[in-house]
Amino acid sequence: MPPTGPVPAIDAPLPGSDVDPGLLEYLRARHAGERFLFATGDASTASPYLAAGYSVLPMGGFTGFWPYPEPDEVAGLVRAGQLRFLYLTAVPGLPGCSANARRGRAATARRCRSGPRAA
């Protein structure tokens, strides 16, 4: 019996799997030689930028659930001039992403200000 409904494409890109040109333009215009262009809550958000050759720190590892880096480590990267921007996204139902967003905010709240929201 044939499947009902649309057949998903095996090679279809995931939502958010492309580089956001507006975000990239903003970050590149303000990049001052830091080791990382930005840090984000998981590897899926970082992956299009990594694939494009940018140095991005995926906090929380592949799934966003691994507690790395710790807040003190993020703050140390900021203090050392290796990290300037955090791209924190909220994904409902994924506590690891939320935990990493809180971790990043806690580590840099006194040193950072918000940039423009992604489209």
Count of residues in the chain? 119
Q: Does residue 16 form part of some domain?
A: no
In the predicted structure, residue 54 carries a pLDDT above the cut 50: yes
92 found inside a domain? yes
Give residue 88's pLDDT: 78
Residue 78 lies in a domain: yes
Residues 53, 110: Cα–Cα separation, whole Å? 30
CA nearest to 106, candidates 91, 86, 92: 86
The total number of structural domains that make up the chain: 1
**Confidence class of residue 41 from pLDDT cuts 50, 70 and 90?**
confident
Confidence of residue 30 (pLDDT cuts 50, 70, 90): very high
Helices within 1-119 (DSSP H only): 21-30, 43-51, 71-79, 95-108
This prediction has a pTM of: 0.65
> Is 113 contained in some domain?
no
80 within some domain: yes
Q: Of 76-80, 93-97, 110-114, give the lowest mean pLDDT range.
A: 93-97
Residue 8 lies in a domain: no
In a domain, 7, yes or no: no
Is residue 107 scored above 60 in pLDDT? no
> Radius of gyration over alpha carbons of the chain, in Å?
16
Q: Indicate whether 46 pLDDT > 70.
A: yes
Domain that holds residue 47: 32-108
What pLDDT is stored for residue 12 in this prediction?
45
The owner of tokens 């990290």 is 83
Question: Is 115 domain-assigned?
Answer: no
Give mean pLDDT, residues 48-61. Answer: 89
